[in-house]
């Protein structure tokens, strides 16, 4: 795991050449079909060398949740273990990692009638109006969510209307999983019946990561990000409040296509938004327990990762780790 532009895919593909692993993508943007440039999706050659599960599984008009990811990941992990291989989860969607490790809070299921009612309210007054309503009943969640995050704002309001309690309060009430005595950092078998080796690729120099981000977004524009979005809009009935179109890069490209920002502003806003994404990812990582941190800028990153995983496998084979 690690921030955007930290080289997660590259190191994972290298590991797949030397270890008996199968890759599972942990990325909320890579799930969308036909969104390739702006998501930095591995190209066909890379995927042929190291296939990834959970890439290109839904259309850009559809939604994918942390709950769906956890269900899919657990199923795939069991299948991979049945093939006597090791699941290697790689990506930067920290909420998905958290959901996988800790489980999901007992929040109510979606209610179709209420969801339709909220959809109509958003259509009439806009998502910012619903966000303002949410702030009145659950200020903590409203502060955490962006005012235009339609899916999450709507879900938070839906939970309040269904239960009469703020989502933030319900999450705090949920029991936390307890570490297993089998080893520090391993969740109990009821939560996740696997030993985990969480490796975080963290830059020793944030400025270098920022330069990588800028170079990559410039390259995305050269590779045709705007044309890709134009093709997506021709192919699918998209609107800007869809989860797919709120992805960094596509959101700014949409504004450019609508004439709301200039080409220069597209570049500047895209880079700034990607840097903010990286900052949020690093904040998530600082709050996660028992991570093994590797400098993503190190020249011998691949060798460090191989040694680290090799040591863990030796301990497993020696019976020092269970499961």
Q: Are residues 257 and 116 in the same domain?
A: no
Q: Are residues 19 and 53 in the same domain?
A: yes
Question: Could you tell me the pLDDT band of residue 78, with boundaries at 50, 70 and 90?
Answer: very high
Please indicate, yes or no, if residue 33 is contained in any of the structural domains: yes
Q: Are residues 76 and 135 in the same domain?
A: no
Q: Residue 112: pLDDT above 90?
A: no
Instruction: Output the domain CATH number for residue 132.
Output: 1.10.20.140
E strand intervals along the chain: 21-25, 52-53, 86-90, 199-202, 292-295
Residue with tokens 């692993």: 21
Q: Into how many domains does the chain fold? A: 2
Question: Could you tell me the pLDDT band of residue 309, with boundaries at 50, 70 and 90?
Answer: very high
Q: Residue 323: pLDDT above 50?
A: no
pLDDT, one tens digit per residue, over 44-62 is: 999 999 999 999 999 999 9
For residue 193, give every residue at least 6 positions away whose Cβ sits within 8 Å of its Cβ, in sequence order, or none: 323
Token pair listed for 276: 């903010």
C-beta of residue 311 within 8 angstroms of C-beta of residue 304: no
- For position 177, what pLDDT does the model report? 47
- For position 164, what pLDDT does the model report? 87
Q: Residue 113: pLDDT above 90?
A: no
- For position 190, what pLDDT does the model report? 44
Q: Are residues 145 and 34 in the same domain?
A: no
Q: How far is CA 22 from the centre of its chain?
A: 18
Please state the rounded mean pLDDT for residues 298-303: 95
State how far the Cα of 5 lies from the Cα of 3, in Å rounded to an integer.
Answer: 6
Q: Are residues 167 and 223 in the same domain?
A: no
Please state the rounded mean pLDDT for residues 120-126: 91
> DSSP per residue over 154-222, as a string?
HHHHHHHHHHSS-HHHHHHHSPPPPBPTTSTTPBPTTT--S----EEEE-S-HHHHHHHHHHHHHHHHH
State how far the Cα of 199 lies from the Cα of 10, in Å rounded to an integer.
Answer: 14
Exposure letters 5-39 (e unless 16+ CB within 10 A, then b)? bbbbbebbbbbbeeeebbbbbbbbbbbbbebbbbb
- For position 81, what pLDDT does the model report? 96
Q: Are residues 206 and 168 in the same domain?
A: no
| Sign, Cα dihedral of 54, 58, 59, 64 | negative
Instruction: Output the domain CATH number for residue 258.
Output: 3.40.50.300
**Where is the domain boundary, 125, 140, 173?**
173
Please indicate, yes or no, if residue 185 is contained in any of the structural domains: no
Please indicate, yes or no, if residue 89 is contained in any of the structural domains: yes
Please state the rounded mean pLDDT for residues 110-124: 88
- For position 191, what pLDDT does the model report? 60
- For position 170, what pLDDT does the model report? 86
**Where is the domain boundary, 173, 188, 211?**
173
Which residue would you say has higher pLDDT here, 234 or 320?
Answer: 234
Which residue would you say has higher pLDDT here, 37 or 194?
Answer: 37
Q: Are residues 262 and 203 in the same domain?
A: yes
Q: Residue 68: pLDDT above 80?
A: yes
Q: Are residues 201 and 291 in the same domain?
A: yes
- Domain around 132: 112-173
Please indicate, yes or no, if residue 309 is contained in any of the structural domains: yes
Please indicate, yes or no, if residue 99 is contained in any of the structural domains: yes
Q: Are residues 91 and 226 in the same domain?
A: yes
- For position 320, what pLDDT does the model report? 59
Question: Could you tell me the pLDDT band of residue 31, with boundaries at 50, 70 and 90?
Answer: very high
**Where is the domain boundary, 173, 189, 211?**
173
Please indicate, yes or no, if residue 167 is contained in any of the structural domains: yes
Please indicate, yes or no, if residue 22 is contained in any of the structural domains: yes
Q: Residue 96: pLDDT above 50?
A: yes
Question: Could you tell me the pLDDT band of residue 313, with boundaries at 50, 70 and 90?
Answer: confident
Which residue would you say has higher pLDDT here, 165 or 249?
Answer: 249
For residue 41, give every residue at least 6 positions away whose Cβ sits within 8 Å of its Cβ, in sequence order, or none: 30, 35, 55, 56
- For position 263, what pLDDT does the model report? 97
Query: What is residue 264's three-state secondary structure?
Result: helix
- For position 174, what pLDDT does the model report? 65
pLDDT, one tens digit per residue, over 168-226 is: 888 877 655 444 333 333 333 346 788 899 999 999 999 999 999 999 999 999 999 99
Q: Residue 94: pLDDT above 80?
A: yes
Please indicate, yes or no, if residue 31 is contained in any of the structural domains: yes
Q: Are residues 296 and 214 in the same domain?
A: yes
Q: For a pLDDT cut of 70, what percent of the chain falls above it? A: 93
State how far the Cα of 219 lies from the Cα of 62, in Å rounded to an integer.
Answer: 27
Q: Are residues 53 and 145 in the same domain?
A: no
Q: Which residues pair with 199 in a beta bridge?
A: 292
Q: Are residues 205 and 305 in the same domain?
A: yes
Q: How far is CA 186 from the centre of its chain?
A: 22
In residues, how long is the chain? 323
Q: Residue 110: pLDDT above 90?
A: no
């Amino acid at each position: 795991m690690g921030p955007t532009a930290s080289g997660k895919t590259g190191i994972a593909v290298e590991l797949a050449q030397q270890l008996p692993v199968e890759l599972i993508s942990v990325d909320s943007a890579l799930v969308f079909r036909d969104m390739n440039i702006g998501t930095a999706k591995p190209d066909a050659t890379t995927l042929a060398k190291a296939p990834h599960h959970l890439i290109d599984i839904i259309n850009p008009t559809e939604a994918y949740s942390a709950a769906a990811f956890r269900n899919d990941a657990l199923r795939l992990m069991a299948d991979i273990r049945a093939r006597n291989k090791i699941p290697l989860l790689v990506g930067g969607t920290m909420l998905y990692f958290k959901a996988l490790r800790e489980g999901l809070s007992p929040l109510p299921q979606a209610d179709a009638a209420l969801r339709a009612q909220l959809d109509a309210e958003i259509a009439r007054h806009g998502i910012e109006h619903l966000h303002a309503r949410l702030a009145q009943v659950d200020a903590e969640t409203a502060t955490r969510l962006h005012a235009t995050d339609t899916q999450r704002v709507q879900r938070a309001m839906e939970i309040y209307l269904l239960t009469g309690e703020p989502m933030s309060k319900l999450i705090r009430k949920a029991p936390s999983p307890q570490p297993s005595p089998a080893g520090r950092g391993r969740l109990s078998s009821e939560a996740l019946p696997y030993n985990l080796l969480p490796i975080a690729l963290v830059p020793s120099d944030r400025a270098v990561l920022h330069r990588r981000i800028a170079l990559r977004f410039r390259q995305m524009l050269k590779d045709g990000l705007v044309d890709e979005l134009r093709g997506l809009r021709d192919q699918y009935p998209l609107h800007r409040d869809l989860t797919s179109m709120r992805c960094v890069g596509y959101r700014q490209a949409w504004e450019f296509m609508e004439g709301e920002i200039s080409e220069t502003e597209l570049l500047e806003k895209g880079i700034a938004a990607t840097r903010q994404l990286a900052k949020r990812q690093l904040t998530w990582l600082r709050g996660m327990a028992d991570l093994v941190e590797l400098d993503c800028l190190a020249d011998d990153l691949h060798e460090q990762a191989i040694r680290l995983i090799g040591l863990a496998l030796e301990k497993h084979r020696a019976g020092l780790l269970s499961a």
